[in-house]
Each structure stands twice: as structure tokens, then as C-alpha cells.
Amino acid sequence: MKKYNPQKIEKKWQKVWSDKKVFETKSPGLAKDTAGKKKFYILVEFPYPSGDGLHVGHCRSYTALDIVARKRRMQGFNVLFPMGWDAFGLPTENYAIKMGLQPAVVTKKNTDTFRKQLKSLGFSFDWSRQVNTTDPAYYKWTQWIFLQLFKSGLAYKDKIAINWCPKDKIGLDNEEVVAGKCERCGTVVEKKEKEQWMIKITKYADRLIKDIDNVNYLEKIKIQQKEWIGRSEGAEIDFSLNNYEEKIKVFTTRPDTLFGCSFLVVAPEHALLEKIKDKIENWQAVEKYISKAKNKSDLERQDLKEKTGIEILGIKAINPANKKEIPIFVADYVVINYGTGAIMAVPAHDDRDFEFAKKYNLDIKSVILDNGVLVNSEQFNGMNLIDAKNKIVEFVGGKKSINYKLRDWVFSRQHYWGEPIPLIYCEKCNWQAVAEKDLPVELPKVKKYEPTDNGESPLAGIEKWVNTKCPKCNSPAKRETDTMPNWAGSNWYFLRYTDSKNNKELASAKALNYFMPVDWYNGGMEHTTLHLLYSRFIFKFLYDIGAVPKEIGNEPYIKRTSHGMVLGDGGIKMSKSKGNVINPDQVVKEFGADTLRIYEMFMGPFDQSIPWDTKGVIGTRRFLEKIYNLVIKFESYKVIKSEKNNELEILINKTIKKVGEDIEQMKFNTAVSALMILVNSFYDPTSPSGLCGARDNVKNLLLILSPFAPHLAEELWAEMKFKGMCAKQSWPEYNEKLFTSEKVLLIIQINGKVRDKISVNNGLMQKEVEKLVLELEKIKPQILGKEIKKIIFVPNKLINIVI
């Protein structure tokens, strides 16, 4: 008897699919191939090819979308399901430094490993369209996009505090700072100001919020994006000082409470403090507080349980509403980079202000009643707070204003392994764009690329590369030596897939027009705020400058879903240090790719985090063996005689419907369970063969199984001698008429509790059911002598007698 041997059949079919180019997407223009077919663009986040290899978490989300891709192909769509490498970045650079290798060499090795691993799982990616962010032919266009931002005035230089390790003499990314200390040497991290390229994403804040209503993202994703952008409407109000001509501008969302404002608070970094220090009587103490606040790491400042602050003596502010003099405080609970870095404190109506006022014994005056009507606000008394907002702003000569939490995007990195920023600095002409014909500005190949000890990018040390000529005036000039962040390459890669080998444009209008927008994009929740937002922004920008066709709209993704994490045993994150990492290669080797795929779909709801359970993997493998043995046995009979054939026919139609719907709703776990129930139903111990069903039933089983376990389905398709390749068949239809059987099971309740069940004719009316039910042996005694108050009847489902 033949035995299920996944290791053998999986390799075999992977080769066939690849040789016959089964999953290569047809491009527009090849009218014969795409005519009459609707495109469907499915995108999964391309991986960062780390040295650790593929994670079982990658496998879970890629399997899910592979199932969607395979099903949509069977439904006749021209599916684009591409894969590539987001390969620039710090871990590769650090690993290369440690091992004394070139980052490019490490990247090549890692992508080769990842590709091999992904191929071993039988994903139906179109490998012919692969992109790699570190390929000069790719990053030429990443640089080109940056130049468009620069030319549009959306890129600018600004001084930004970076994390600085004084011992290693190196700027650190946030992720390299652990609990305020340098990840490498444990030294306390300091702040150091450095000029950085910034991108004005805030200019797009409003559109990034508004347009979210036009796309089909999971609700929690929409909420998180909106919260991150954090739009709040309010007003800017100037407070005069009693002793100085400067004013303090505050931002508030509650101008209606202005009469209750009993002090001002400014951030320690507020520029005014330095200006008015001569007037401040306790400047020494204030200065001490400021330097203490500045020296605190972000973490410390955030972790404060109790608010601290210091009053500025010798100078007071004047509440513009009632002209009263009020004290000014410096406190580090007010942050400099939101609003104006100064607030008007209304302790009666703000918890933080209240806490602060209690501590420093300040006035707490209530100005709004519970019903939203103003009191203690002179001529505004009795007014509704909504009307009062506008009136009071008007009264004090304030200005309505909108603030965002979103900040501009720091685009410079002082590392080697990233895209060089294609700008040249000329003493006469300032910053100049590299000419487009000179793109890409390739990363120079050098031996030494360690970060420098003065905080400059390693590229700064390569004089031959740095020294160049000004594109405008041809005098000696220097290249920008900072490189771009990881996000630069990943925020437009989905465009490149549509036309990945184009060397004239980032992608042709024709290809973009055909494939874009992305129909379905799945990724991790952790990318909701950064990658997802950045790429939406870049797409909108490209739309604005006409780099992508207007017809495709100004949102890149129609639908966005997210997956849950695969956790280690016991529900904790998989990590090397905990020793609970599951290697997909090992699972494939031991159980097979189809087992891994189905297990990861069956383990639980797709959007929830689920711990890995090796015992569960064994169960899935048993399920696949069961299918294999069933079909092999089935093949040996010409005709199966069984009383259950009809029943199976009905079940298979129901299952086709359910599996199809579940895939679209990402309910893969229940789809697998429906397949299990179906497979179990092929067994009939009362029939001579022990089986039931027809060859056609097996055919349909294999078809709906194939997106989940493509190798097994393909193998059994061949065993059954069905025509062609399973992967190229049409998704089966189902006959809904079969579901409506003659008899239905009716639930009988008394006072909402189940008391009996009977089988009745489909469509039986209430009157007849009542007659039937009231005479039932189990029911009759229970209602005897009791008053029937009400009878609830749900046709074909339930009858509830209320007594």
C-alpha cells in the first residue's frame, strides 16, 4: 500500500509548478492572456531577510494569503502575488561588521536562505517579479522619489536630538537604546543635536485621516492610524506678561474654560525662558530644574508618577479673559514638540492640571456645569460650551487652530547599509539634487564601513566618494553622506512589482494602471502606524506630482488586514534567549510543508496571537494522512455503493460554500475544520468498501483542499487520473438547492429551555407545529394545567412555549 510521503511529493510538485511557470502573472499588453480576466493584486509585507531565517510567523501570514491567491486564481482572476526583500538595515550591517563581511554578501546569503525556505513551503509567489531594496536598479527609484520630495520642498534639514552613546561615540537608533542605555556597552545614552533630513509628512496629515474613510481597512487599523495622526481642533491664545513685552502662546482644545485658567505651564525647552531670564528672580533654581529635565532620558520623564515643576518668580501672565494675573510654571509634563510647548492650566476641568494645582496650592475654579453650561465666566455665563468655544476665542483675539500628534519624518541615518541620499552640498549653491541621469548614487564598495566616532555617517570618511562637483555651478562640492532609513525602500515597493524590470521609470503607467491599487494587503499590526502610514503618504505624493496615473486613485491599498503573532509554547514571544523558537525547516522536514500550512491555519483565529503546540502539528499530519489513505483506497474501487452517497453529496456542496466564504473572511480555522468534517464523512462503516461517495466528490474535495495543502491535492489529483493540473482548475460551484432538505430539526423550548427536538417537514406552519408539539409525550405533562401565555415560533428552527 502506498504511503503519504510529503518530503517526496512536495519537492516534485514544486518543481513542476516552477518549470511550467504556473504562478507567473500575465502583464497587461499580452491581451490574449489577460483578456476577460480581472486582475487581483494580493500583497504581503516583504520580509527583512535576517540571519535567523524564516519565522513560523512569516509562514502563517504568507500561507493565509497564498490560500487567497490560489483560490482567486481558480476563480479566474489574473492574480499578482509577488515577493521581494526589504534588505537594507542595521542588523545586517552589525552582523557583517561582527563577521568581517560585506553587508552585500551577507544580504545575498540571507535572501538565498529565505527564498529557499519560502519555496519549500509551496507558496504561489510570482518569483519572476522579485525586488530587492538593496539592488541599485531598485534604489535608483527610491532615490528618485527622494529627489521629487526635495524638489517639491517636502525635504528639509533640521536640528534633531539623536541618541548618542558617549563611549562608543555613535548615534543610536531608538531600537538600540534599551532602558536608557546603549544596547552594546550599557553606557547611559545622551542626547546630541544633529542636522538631519526631515520629510514634511505633516503636510499630508489631514488627507491621511480623511481618506481612511474611503478604504476597507480593519476597523482597529483605521482607529490606530487616526489616533497616531491625532488631529485635535482647538485654538491658539496669547497670554501677555505683566513685566515684559513678549507673549506666551498656548494651544488649547478647551477655550471655553479660559475663565477657569489659574496658571500657565511651559515646557523646560521653551525658547522664551532663555529670553526672559533676566526678569526671573529665581533663575538659578529654574535653570537647575531645566537642566535636570533635559538630562532625564525620555523614559524617565515619561515614568514620572508625580508631576514636578517650579514657579517662575518676578513675572506673571495675564489671563486675557478676565485680566487677572496668574503664575507661570516650568514643568516637564508639558512637552515642547506638541502644540506651542505651553499650556493654559484649568485645574477644575483637566486631571493633570488638577493634580498639579493641588500639589502647588493653586486656584481651582469650576467654570462649566455638568450640563455643559458656563458659570463664573462673566458675560458668557449661561452659554453652552460649544458656542462658548468660538465666542471666547473671538473675544480674546485668539486664533482657531488644528494640531496633530504626527511629527515630521526623520529621514537621515548615519549608517552605511542604506540608500545614499542623492544630494550635493555646494558652498555657493547650497543643497543641490544629483542629476537624474546620474542616478543611482551607488553605495561605494569599501572595506571599512563601521560607524565613525564623530557621529558622521561612515560614508563621510570616503573622500574620493564625497568630493564631487556641484551639478549647478560645477565648483568643488561634497556629497550628502547620510543614508535613508529602512522605510525608504519599503514605502513604494508594491509599485515596482507591477513592472519590476523597468529601467526607464519606477513602473510604466500601463502596468500601474492595470495592477494598481493593491486589492488586498496583509501585514502585522506593528506596521500600522509607521510603514502603512509612510507608504500611504508617499503614494499620495506620487499621485500629486503625476508619477502614478490619476485613474488608480490616491490610496494605494483597497483593503488591509492583519495577522496575529505565533507565540512560543506557553504564550510567550518566541526568542533565542528563551530557547522556544520553532524553525519552519525542521517542521517541513519532519511533517511536511502541507502539514505546517494547515496547522498554522487551524491553530486559531488568524488575527489573534496563538501559542505554538507541537502536539497540534501531529494532529494535522494525521488529518493529511487520512486524506491520502482515503483517496488511494477510493481509487481502487470502480464504484462505491453506500446508502450515504446522497448525504455526502449534500455535505460537499455545503462545504464548498463554507470553505469559499471562510477564505474570503480569513476564517481559515473553521475552513479547515469543515474540511475535516467532510473527510470524516467519506467513511461509511455500513458499506462494503467502508466508504461512500462518488469520484466527483473526491474531485471537489481535492479542489477545495488545494489552496490549503497544494502538494497533497496535486499528488492525489494525479493519482485519481483527473485531467490537467489541480492548481489550474476552476473553483467548484455548489448547488444551494440541495441544502433545503425535506425534513428539518425543530427545537422545542418551554420558557426558553430546550425540552425536546423533533424532525418536521420543511416549511411547516405554526398552527400545525403547535398541534403536533402540544401532544408530545415530553411536552404534554409539562404544560398540563398551566396557562400558555405566548408561543414564539421561528419557522424551521424553533418553537418556544411560554407558560
Considering only residues 378-417, where is the footprint of RNA by CB under 7 A? Answer: 403, 405
Question: Which of 30, 99, 105, 223 lies at the binding interface for RNA (CB under 7 A)?
Answer: 223
Decide if 561 contacts 522 (C-beta within 8 A): yes
Question: Which of 102, 113, 232, 687 lies at the binding interface for RNA (CB under 7 A)?
Answer: 232
CB of 189 to RNA, least distance (A): 17
Q: Verify binding: residue 128, RNA, rule CB under 7 A.
A: no
Q: Verify binding: residue 277, RNA, rule CB under 7 A.
A: no
Which residues on adjacent β-strands are paired with residue 216? 559
Segment interacting with RNA, rule: CB under 7 A, options 147-155, 458-466, 618-626, 633-641 = 618-626
Q: Verify binding: residue 34, RNA, rule CB under 7 A.
A: no
Question: Which of 669, 697, 706, 729 lies at the binding interface for RNA (CB under 7 A)?
Answer: 669
Measured from the CB atom, the residue of 553 and 604 that comes closer to RNA is 604
Measured from the CB atom, the residue of 362 and 434 that comes closer to RNA is 362
Measured from the CB atom, the residue of 17 and 591 that comes closer to RNA is 591
CB of 724 to RNA, least distance (A): 30
Residue listed under C-alpha cell 527564498: 115
Q: Which three three-digit cell numbers place residue 506?
A: 519606477
CB of 255 to RNA, least distance (A): 8
> Cα 774 from chain centroid?
57
In angstroms, rounded to a whole number, what is the distance separating the alpha carbons of residues 106 and 126? 24
Segment interacting with RNA, rule: CB under 7 A, options 159-167, 241-249, 370-378, 609-617 = 609-617
Q: Verify binding: residue 719, RNA, rule CB under 7 A.
A: no
Name the helix (H) or strand (E) containing 748: strand 743-750
Question: Which of 247, 279, 301, 478 lies at the binding interface for RNA (CB under 7 A)?
Answer: 301
In angstroms, rounded to a whole number, what is the distance separating the alpha carbons of residues 402 and 344? 16
Decide if 80 contacts 41 (C-beta within 8 A): yes
In angstroms, rounded to a whole number, what is the distance separating the alpha carbons of residues 536 and 774? 64
Question: Which of 66, 256, 332, 419 lies at the binding interface for RNA (CB under 7 A)?
Answer: 332
Segment interacting with RNA, rule: CB under 7 A, options 18-26, 176-184, 380-388, 666-674 = 666-674
| Continuous H helices in 194-329 | 205-210, 219-229, 271-275, 283-295, 298-303
Greatest Cα pair distance in the chain: 108
Task: Pick the closest to residue 301 from 336, 328, 272, 270 (CA basis).
Answer: 336
Question: Which of 214, 608, 740, 766 lies at the binding interface for RNA (CB under 7 A)?
Answer: 608
Q: Verify binding: residue 788, RNA, rule CB under 7 A.
A: no
Question: What's 367-419 look like in SS3?
Answer: CECCCCEECCCHHHCCCEHHHHHHHHHHHCCCEEEEEECCCCEECCECCCCCC
In angstroms, rounded to a whole number, what is the distance separating the alpha carbons of residues 591 and 25? 31
Residues between 344 and 363 with contacts to RNA, criterion CB under 7 A: 344, 350, 352
Residue 185 is given by DSSP the state T
For the packed helices 6-19 and 710-719, what is the interaxial angle rounded to 10 degrees?
A: 90
Q: Verify binding: residue 222, RNA, rule CB under 7 A.
A: no
The tally of CA atoms less than 13 A away on the side-chain side of residue 457 is 27
Q: How many residues bind RNA (CB under 7 A)?
A: 80
CB of 534 to RNA, least distance (A): 14
Q: Verify binding: residue 736, RNA, rule CB under 7 A.
A: no
Residues between 623 and 662 with contacts to RNA, criterion CB under 7 A: 623, 625-626
Question: Which of 509, 676, 720, 774 lies at the binding interface for RNA (CB under 7 A)?
Answer: 676
Q: Verify binding: residue 762, RNA, rule CB under 7 A.
A: no
Measured from the CB atom, the residue of 107 and 252 that comes closer to RNA is 252
Measured from the CB atom, the residue of 332 and 555 that comes closer to RNA is 332
Q: What is the CA radius of gyration of the chain?
A: 34
Stretch 555-594: interaction string toward RNA, x if CB under 7 A: ------------------x---------------------
Quickly list DSSP for 626-685: HHHHHHHHHHT-S----TTHHHHHHHHHHHHHHHHHHHHTT-HHHHHHHHHHHHHHTB-T
Measured from the CB atom, the residue of 30 and 677 that comes closer to RNA is 677
CB of 776 to RNA, least distance (A): 12
Q: Verify binding: residue 802, RNA, rule CB under 7 A.
A: yes
User: How far apart, in Å, are the Cα atoms of 5 and each of 9, 14, 653?
Assistant: 6, 14, 29
Residues between 149 and 178 with contacts to RNA, criterion CB under 7 A: none
CB of 684 to RNA, least distance (A): 10
Measured from the CB atom, the residue of 149 and 746 that comes closer to RNA is 746
CB of 354 to RNA, least distance (A): 11
Residues between 246 and 265 with contacts to RNA, criterion CB under 7 A: 251-254
CB of 257 to RNA, least distance (A): 9
Measured from the CB atom, the residue of 72 and 389 that comes closer to RNA is 389
- The helix/strand/coil state of 710 is helix
Q: Verify binding: residue 297, RNA, rule CB under 7 A.
A: no
Residue burial 216-243, b: 16+ Cβ < 10 Å; e: rest: ebbeebbebbeebbebeebbbbbbbbee
Segment interacting with RNA, rule: CB under 7 A, options 115-123, 461-469, 575-583, 680-688 = 680-688
Name the helix (H) or strand (E) containing 158: strand 155-165
The tally of CA atoms less than 13 A away on the side-chain side of residue 756 is 17
Decide if 372 contacts 384 (C-beta within 8 A): yes
Question: Which of 16, 462, 747, 758 lies at the binding interface for RNA (CB under 7 A)?
Answer: 747
Measured from the CB atom, the residue of 110 and 225 that comes closer to RNA is 225
Q: Verify binding: residue 63, RNA, rule CB under 7 A.
A: no
Measured from the CB atom, the residue of 529 and 689 that comes closer to RNA is 529
Stretch 506-535: interaction string toward RNA, x if CB under 7 A: -------------------xx--x------
Strands (E), 464-526: 467-469, 476-479, 520-524
Segment interacting with RNA, rule: CB under 7 A, options 131-139, 182-190, 230-238, 715-723 = 230-238
Q: Verify binding: residue 604, RNA, rule CB under 7 A.
A: yes
Residue 257 is given by DSSP the state G
- The helix/strand/coil state of 213 is helix
